[in-house]
Chain A
């Protein structure tokens, strides 16, 4: 499976996500520069943590105007899996791919610690491999990770089983302990905790692996025919690029 990790100016967990999926999980990955207009045929997109464009104006607010996000938007509409971590979650919310907002932590301070999480649903390509009922130990590191939305939106998220993760020990004041949510089509997920920081025993936890393993599992389950059609399309695109650039 081939992951695409988007690099915005100011992304700082891009290398970590790249390392986690390639070295710790043994898959392929590419770094996608923010000015690229295509996603080079990757199978899943990761919007990594960091401070895209310095997080000026509002976290993630400027990133949504970048060329690569147009491509990510199309990719998501076509059903491609998109995982936004931390700043990536903030970008997805700003882009409108996910509802709600992420505001300053309740105590107004940045918080970096390993928290307990529970997968609130296993019905998604991001959580299907998460052990049911188990508490996952995954780090958070953010200043603006308090998830807020109006009551109606929160009710709807819950009614449609779109809450992906909940905190056991809520570190930021997020409403209803929400740590991660899904879009309606269930192929876009944003989460504040950093699964890419918990994929190797030396980092103190390997519980983050289950998020990436879920993606791999759902990719493997994809209809073989669909996969080969996608590969063919990618080859055509690649040869077109070669023709135009040659």
Chain B
């Protein structure tokens, strides 16, 4: 047997003191298989050892929450007999090493989390970050990564049969060596059929189903918990390979098996594979689990216990079934042509006991492994930032040209090139698909609809992580409100650099606290999520990027359009023109795309005001007092006006009255504002007054042209077609140059 050397410990990403803790608790040296098991269970990815102390600050309870963090997904009550399960998860590191499979298996993993709860997945959204596509140094690699990630998501989601209905995609240099692939999934489940992953019933058999175990993805979880260096590309064999067809069969078979009533608990084998599922199911249920590896279906001969336990082969599940009813469950899996074998049983005590042909290869206390991983109160200082506070000198020479530049900036431009590669309609629930403020899906079974939005802004968070996180929550809730939905619950994906650096840890702490404050204020408890740390390459961290996924509820009905539907409508800004300031202008898209600068702070947020604006727009949309509604975000008022004109070629003639300097008036990104079109301003004005928010009339919709003036002086006037051209063409043009290797 291999001796455990300090090098071996280090190569398993365990610290010497962590190792000593293991030896002290076991009263002996672990063997190599056990060391491997600790390395994945105590990895940052599985144990949240750096973030757990702070994650406790997040609100997790609320009126609608049936299941909070700790299970495979959060569950909320949507009324009647129905509930929805949802969660977001990252697959950042694998997607850099092997974009197609990395992204594909990211989709596969989160879908399994959803149907492990007994829910049928009905929607996927994704939040993506890449390096700049036009960067002379790494642009071609960034384009290839984007192409691979989108193909991977498309391949997996389309074949599985879940619609990909929305998301966001942003480009910054800081993501060049660390792209972010965060995937959100949501499913529907009857309230009385929610399944948990907690083993129980001593003597109950443990059944393995799905794909055979191979050597792919061994130690993926620990790879995802380290920084990248020059040799990272050698880690390609650590990335798993996905088979969406197998996952589709697994979905149908699992849901059918759950319906027999013979299944006690179910857990997918995701990160850390068989290790994690065996250990966590036992630990959650306060029982032991004993398995023998000789029964585990294997893809190749001569796999060692170490490899079998650490494999991250995809599309596998572990079930605990009521003793004596195995055949009912096995029959279902046979029908779907899937491997299903009894590999062990639930036992008394707290052990995770693994044998190989009878010989004990791992004998570990499961709670020690699953719940007593080291908890770090990592030191933190001031959040890292390397940007000036003061604004540089700038003055626009052509505001019309600036708007054209912004429309063609990839963060703002149409993402059609991406979302047309996703089947966004399968299951025929998509009432509002990609390209809108929020996706809306009807839930046929429940007779109501759910709205979903993902939002994050790395630039804001880099300048001020606390405020940036609050703004993400606010924008996400605003996106839901403009389609008439009431935000009810959230999931989060925290993407940060190396937490062992105090200035990075400070970003994480500030962002979590800001997010907690905002989620408490907007009454959107966090029901689960994911933390992805060590997003650094060669010492360069990503922008701190907390991504929010929030869901809202609404009655099923004709959707509220985002764009102007007709000529001659009154255009108004609910929430008013807002305030800007030189310092706060440095975080805008204008600063980025037009000035190529970054400075200052994110826009200021008054959460109380924001909430009133959201209530007002929600009420106006539900009462059909507006003909269209669109939230202001990247690029501010002018970009929002342009976006409202693209759908039907209906622009607007806008006359403003403001003392703000023109660049700010048109492009500042102050939150709490919604652009609406209406036939009648009067009732809307009364409604706004009742909510104590300003409603500023801006002008009227007009076919074919967008023109904006301030105090009688024209700022810009452009044909809608001219604006649409860069907006539509920017991404396809950038991607024409993909070179396949």
Assess A141 versus B245: contact at CB under 8 Å? Given A19-B444, A200-B428, A202-B556. no
- Once the chains are docked, how many angstroms separate the CA of A222 from the CA of B556? 39
Contact between chains at B425 and A112 (CB < 8 Å): yes
CB-defined contacts of B246 to chain A, threshold 8 Å: 54
By the criterion CB–CB under 8 Å, are B424 and A112 in contact? yes
Name which of B154-162, B217-225, B542-550, B720-728 contacts chain A: B154-162
Q: Mark A1-40, 1 if CB is under 8 A from B, else 0.
A: 0000000011011011001100100000000000000000
Most buried by B among A51, A109, A112: A112
Name the prevailing secondary structure of the A interface residues: mixed
Q: Decide yes or no whether B9 CB sits under 8 A from chain A.
A: no
Q: Are A110 and B423 in contact (CB under 8 A)?
A: yes
Cross-chain contact A10 with B431 (CB below 8 angstroms) = no
How many whole Å from A16's CB to the nearest CB in chain B? 5
Pair B336/A112 contact, Cβ less than 8 Å: no
> Is the C-beta of A219 less than 8 angstroms from some C-beta in chain B?
no
> Considering only CB atoms, which chain B residue lies closest to A139 in the complex?
B425
Q: How close is B96's CB to chain A, nearest CB, in angstroms?
A: 22
Residues of B contacting A112 with CB < 8 Å?
A: 158, 419-425
B420, A9: Cβ atoms closer than 8 Å: no
Contact between chains at A111 and B161 (CB < 8 Å): no
Q: A19-B428, A197-B425, A203-B430 are in contact. Are A110 and B245 (CB under 8 A)?
A: no
Inter-subunit contact B423/A202 (CB<8 Å): no
Which residues of the partner chain A approach B558 to less than 8 Å between Cβ atoms? Answer: 201-202
Whether, in the assembled complex, B442 has its beta carbon less than 8 Å from a beta carbon of chain A, the answer is yes
Q: What residue of chain A has the Cβ atom nearest to residue B162's Cβ?
A: A12
Establish whether residues A197 and B421, one from each chain, have CB atoms under 8 Å apart when the complex forms: no
B388 within 8 A of A: no
* Chain A residues packing against B (C-beta within 8 Å): 9-10, 12-13, 15-16, 19-20, 23, 49-51, 53-56, 109-113, 139, 141, 143, 194, 196-197, 200-203
- In the docked arrangement, what's the CA distance between A69 and B159, Å? 21
- Give the docked Cα–Cα distance between A201 and B557 (Å): 10
> Could you tell me if B248 and A111 are in contact, using CB atoms closer than 8 angstroms?
no
Q: Could you say which residues of chain B place their CB within 8 Å of the CB of A54?
A: 159, 243-246
17 A-B interface contacts by CB (under 8 A): A9-B248, A16-B426, A16-B427, A19-B428, A54-B243, A55-B159, A55-B245, A109-B420, A110-B158, A110-B421, A111-B421, A112-B422, A112-B424, A139-B425, A141-B425, A200-B428, A202-B556
**In the bound complex, what is the Cα–Cα distance between A21 and B557 (angstroms)?**
21
Among A13, A51, A113, the residue within 8 A (CB) of B159 is: A51
Q: Is B447 an interface residue (CB 8 A)?
A: no
CB distance from B38 to the nearest CB of A (A): 37
Chain B positions within 8 Å of A51 at CB level: 158-159, 161, 244-245, 248
Tell me which residues across on chain B come within 8 A of A143, comparing CB atoms: 158
Interface secondary structure of B, over-half rule? loop
B605 at interface by CB-CB < 8 Å: no
Say whether B337 faces chain A, with CB atoms less than 8 Å apart.
yes
In the complex, chain A residues whose CB is within 8 Å of the CB of B655:
none
For A139, the chain B residues whose CB sits under 8 A away are: 425
Asked if A13 meets B426 with Cβ closer than 8 Å, knowing A110-B421, A112-B421, the reply is yes
From known contacts A12-B248, A109-B421, A202-B431, infer whether A141 and B426 are also in contact, taking CB-CB under 8 Å. yes
CB contact list, B663-683 vs A, under 8 A: none
Given contacts A12-B248, A109-B151, A109-B420, 14 further A-B contacts (CB under 8 A): A9-B336, A10-B249, A13-B426, A16-B426, A16-B427, A49-B426, A51-B159, A51-B248, A55-B245, A109-B421, A110-B154, A112-B421, A141-B158, A202-B557
- By the criterion CB–CB under 8 Å, are A53 and B245 in contact? yes
Q: How far is the CA of A208 from the CA of B431 in the complex (A)?
A: 16
B248 touches A10 (CB 8 A): yes
Contact between B430 and A10, CB atoms less than 8 A apart: no
Q: For residue B154, which residues in chain A have a CB less than 8 angstroms away from its CB?
A: 110
For residue B414, give the distance in angstroms from its CB to the closest CB of chain A: 13
What is the chain A residue whose CB lies nearest that of B337? A9
| Distance (whole angstroms) from the CB of B454 to the closest CB of chain A | 19
B556 (CB) vs chain A CBs: closest residue: A202
A10: chain B residues at CB < 8 Å are: 159, 245, 248-249
Which chain A residues border B421 with CB–CB below 8 Å?
A: 109-112
Give, as a whole number of angstroms, the nearest-CB distance from B641 to chain A.
25
Instruction: Name B390-449 residues within 8 Å CB distance of A.
Output: 419-428, 430-431, 442, 444
B428 near A12: Cβ-Cβ < 8 Å: no
Task: Determine the chain B residues whose CB is within 8 A of the CB of A55 once the complex forms.
Answer: 159, 245
Cβ of B424 and Cβ of A15 under 8 Å apart?
Answer: no
With the chains together, A116 CA to B420 CA distance in Å?
A: 16
* Residues on A with beta carbons closer than 8 Å to the beta carbon of B420: 109-113
Nearest B residue (CB) for A143: B158
- Tell me the complex Cα distance, A139–B430, Å: 12
CB nearest to B251 among chain A residues: A12
Q: Tell me which residues across on chain A come within 8 A of B336, comparing CB atoms.
A: 9
